[in-house]
Structure 1
Amino acid sequence: MFSPIVRSLALLGSGAVLWIAAPAAAECAHDKVRVNLPAQRLDERVLALAKASGCFMEVDTTSLADKQARRLRGRMTAGSALYRSLRGSGLEAAPVKGHWRIDRRQQERFARRVATLRATTAAQRERDAITAPRARDADQSLRHVERALPRRVNEQAHLSVTERVRYDAKLDRVARRIGAPPTPLPSGWVAPAL
């Protein structure tokens, strides 16, 4: 039987993993814990936070490659420590069903939606269904979302529910202006629990 540390290290080299905390049955601590971590590789930091907090961390380890985390010191919750560690990496952390997921899922979702609306705008303009000023206005709104959203994630390592709603509303307005129906949410979609 592997010790929890050896098991975690063995999982480290295997693509997408669910890192576990030191005691395998530990529950994710919601209280503040004392953190004193040196500047280190981001994969090492995520593993250290999983051990210190007892939180499961779901992450594709290739997304952590060649990224560094700054020194982290003080009393903070696991979420705050994770957000601070991921700042500047372009990755986002989200609490999902009792564990943390680290990826670019929200950014990718918005990028797909922007690309779809941009293609629809071009098609509508080509058919003369919308005017050139309306197409330029739509493109400007799409560029704003395309630039602002990754910058926001890079600053804070997550998107709040309010920010997601605001960006979705902006894209819905663009869709209405170009005559495309808003993208429906996937069947069975539930807002992430925070």
Structure 2
Amino acid sequence: MDRFETKSFALMPGQRVEATILSHHPWGVLAEITGHEDDGLSASIDMIEQFASRTSSHEELLALFPPVGSRVDAVVQQVNQWLPPVSVRLGIRASDLATSTWSCDFCGERTTLSPGGDALVLDARSNNGPGSCSIVVHRHCLAERIRPENVGERARALELGERDWGSPPLG
């Protein structure tokens, strides 16, 4: 089975990337993620969503658009792998670059995607064909939803990404 989204699995919400600005649009910019130029994905930065509430005029907002051809530091906010081409939503706010957060898809509260944070990113795929989605959750929200008798998976959900793999498992 040909899966169009396979190359995009290297990208996940909360990951820092570098991007080159390709074009300006009324809502924001299209960009190309460094290292993923040939992966068949589309990247964008929604400047209105990120900056409109902080600016007092449309001209002030337009002044914040990075110039075409410039390189920017960004953080992956979402990876949409539902239909081709894969689209990646990037954030460039200083606050996102410092600590990226997103709403937990289980409880709705904010969870921290940045390294050291409390978020896990789940990739949901099917054997029936291509297309997938990413689900962002608090690690404790996931652990609480795993059957209590499945102690091993509940424990792994709580330590995934936290464990020093040179050491024995916790507990």
Q: How high is the TM-score relative to the length of structure 1?
A: 0.27
Q: Higher strand proportion, which one?
A: 2
The higher radius of gyration belongs to: 1
Q: How high is the TM-score relative to the length of structure 2?
A: 0.29
Q: Higher helix proportion, which one?
A: 1
